[in-house]
Chains A and B, each alone.
Chain A
Amino acid sequence: MRILFYILQKEFTQIFRNRSMLPIIFVMPLVQMLILVFAATNELRQVDLAIVDYDHSYSSRDMVAGIVGNPFFKVQKLLANSQEAEELLMRNKIDLALVIPRHFDKDLNMNKSAEVQVLVDAINGNAAQLSLSYLSSVIGSFSQKVLINPIKPEFRQTKNIVIKPSYWFNPQLNYKYYMAPGILVVLITVVGMLLGGMNLVREKELGTIEQINVTPLKKWQFIAGKLLPFLVIGLFDLAFGLLVAKLAFNIPVRGSLVLLFSLASVYLVLVLSWGLFISTISDTQQQATFVSFFSLIVFIMMSGLFTPVESMPDWAQKIDFINPLFYFVKIMRSVLLKGSNFADIFNEFAALSAFAVSMFGLAIFRYRKTS
């Protein structure tokens, strides 16, 4: 224990003597929280829309007025024919075109139902679905009788059943509430995976690790000495990031912070061990950075941070079983937004703990004092 103290003393002295360290610790959380939370959003605003009105009737003008008045849509043009609308779609000038056919007014009054056509730029499928459903609800509020006829038949909406949603945990559907906990996970993952690993490989590059390797220092002591300082820094950054998120977005903190930080410690041991393991098999900082970034990107993309895990293919969901981010993103969102307690997230905790212990063991095992 006394020996570990000397190692930690040395590591902390070096970390805080390093001039680039303080900016990393303070600037990274600020940038990630203030920029990424805004950038990583699925919310749609200002959808560019063109309208082709073949009917020029009282009803059609009334409906168009309702759309123009909606802040969600930015009506680019009122066009004469649908060819023009198609051309604008091709040239990426608009995202959406609404075509109101002749006899719209007549159909509406005579047949008690009328059809309109909607052309959607569906390159971003997600955004396309979303803007179409917004448009539907605007039209729907104009009249329950208008049948929307989109190009893709699956999008066909029927208005017979009215659903009144009740959104739990995030009633305003505030996207930032959803993203901020996830971005916090990315933040401490980057800190964990890169800082500890880089530190170890640097000793290899400088040759100072040789002087350590000829001492009777135990392997676990060395690895623990590289891990613990960055565990502290990771937890500090989590606290700092959480504070920024609270002040900037007022994200809810419904669960216990003690629980959150305890789980974060387990998670940090895991990612730090992973970074240290990578650096035990690397000879240079470039190698270690490359391998770390590669695994980081795979883990982040598959974590359910940006895209729901449920929409991934079955095999991909199985791979997520070993993805630490998958568990911790879930934990963060549950504890912060739902106020989940320890029992609620026990499975995630158990998985993380098992992985943390094995990864720490693997990093120690793979660190060789003798080559």
Chain B
Amino acid sequence: MITTEPVITVKNMVKKFGTFVANDNLNFEVYKGEIFGFIGANGAGKTTAIRILCGLSTPTSGEMKVAGFDIYRQTEKIKQNIGYMSQKFSLYEDLTINENIRFFGGIYGMKIGERKARTIEMLERLELKEFANRKIGDLPLGWKQKLAFSIAILHNPRIVFLDEPTGGVDPITRRQFWNLIYEAVEKGITVFVTTHYMDEAEYCDRVSIMADGRIVALDTPEKLKKQYDAANMDEVFLKIAR
């Protein structure tokens, strides 16, 4: 259900750290219901951009709207409408799966009944029901990543931001992870994802390729492959990077 109704609008986004320019005049829109990929090498500025859109970092200049709210003045309203999964695993390892869910559901102000129903649904989907009272620190990385994603969308946000969500997990788990993403999209959640795995770029509806803080290409994977006369996104990326 991809529309052309923008849920994220970015105009002239600039972020400088001292003299270093991490985001150099970014312009793009993300449409409601799509999977929008941010592709680029390490240090290209993907994480900086995602952190600004989530309200974790202030941009140097530019106009940005997320879920219809202004990034400077309505940060807290944005936060009610987004989910975020950071590069660094950040659920509480000393709490159990249930306790983490209860806490995050609680601080998003979810109703108890709704939270309980969604918890059951989620644990069944992830086949983690019998591990509900295990501490998260004891679980394998792949499970943790899937849990982190599921908890990030527990409160049913309009947009979920995923910063390299599949870093360090095996190909099978990555595939399962992407199935979870598709299911979220079906529920109407817009997905903003950064990655440096080029096969994952193929799964996105549209990708923007970043290099040195700038967007150097932005289109659907099919059109990019055609434009650069490449068999896959890996080739596209290598041609652009060169």
Contacts and interface: CB of A to CB of B under 8 A. Distances in A.
B55 A214 contact: yes
B108 interface: yes
Interface stretch (A203-211, A272-280, A334-342): A203-211
A207 B94 contact: no
B86 interface: yes
A3 interface: yes
Interface in B24-74: 54-58
B86 A207 contact: yes
A14 B95 contact: yes
Interface stretch (B77-85, B205-213, B219-227, B230-238): B77-85
Nearest to A208: B90
A6 B98 CA distance: 13
A283 to B, nearest CB: 15
Is chain A's interface secondary structure helix, strand, loop, or mixed overall? helix
B102 interface: yes
A163 B103 CA distance: 68
A2 interface: yes
A257 interface: no
B96 to A, nearest CB: 9
A276 B77 CA distance: 26
Contact of A14 (B90, B94, B106): B94
Contacts of A217: 107
B104 interface: yes
B229 interface: no
Interface string B123-157: 00000000000000000000000000000000000
Contacts of A215: 79, 104, 107-108
Contacts of B84: 210-211, 214
Given A14-B92, A207-B88, A371 B103 contact: no
B191 interface: no
B91 interface: yes
Interface string A1-32: 01101110110011001100000000000000
Contact of B107 (A7, A17, A18, A371): A7
Contacts of A212: 107
B200 interface: no
Contacts of B54: 214
Interface in B92-116: 92-95, 99, 102-104, 106-109
Contacts of B56: 210, 213-214, 369-371
Contacts of B94: 14, 17-18
B75 interface: yes
A216 interface: yes
A3 B108 CA distance: 8
B76 interface: yes
Contacts of A10: 92, 95, 99, 103
A288 B88 CA distance: 23
A371 B47 CA distance: 14
Contacts of A2: 106, 109
A211 B103 CA distance: 11
Nearest to B83: A214
A14 B57 CA distance: 28
Given A3-B107, A216-B108, A369 B58 contact: no
A247 B197 CA distance: 67
Contact of A211 (B57, B77, B80, B91): B91
Given A215-B108, A216-B80, A371 B57 contact: yes
B107 to A, nearest CB: 5
Contacts of A371: 56-58
B95 A13 contact: yes
Given A207-B86, A370-B56, A13 B99 contact: yes
Given A10-B95, A17-B94, A211-B90, A370 B75 contact: yes
A370 B93 CA distance: 24
26 contacts: A2-B106, A3-B106, A3-B107, A6-B103, A6-B106, A13-B95, A14-B94, A206-B90, A206-B93, A207-B86, A207-B88, A208-B92, A210-B90, A211-B86, A211-B91, A212-B107, A213-B55, A214-B54, A214-B82, A214-B84, A215-B79, A215-B107, A216-B76, A216-B80, A369-B55, A370-B57
Given A14-B95, A206-B93, 10 more contacts: A2-B106, A3-B107, A10-B99, A18-B94, A207-B88, A208-B90, A211-B104, A212-B107, A213-B56, A215-B79
Which 4 A-B residue pairs are closest in the complex by CB-CB distance?
A6-B106, A214-B84, A207-B88, A211-B90
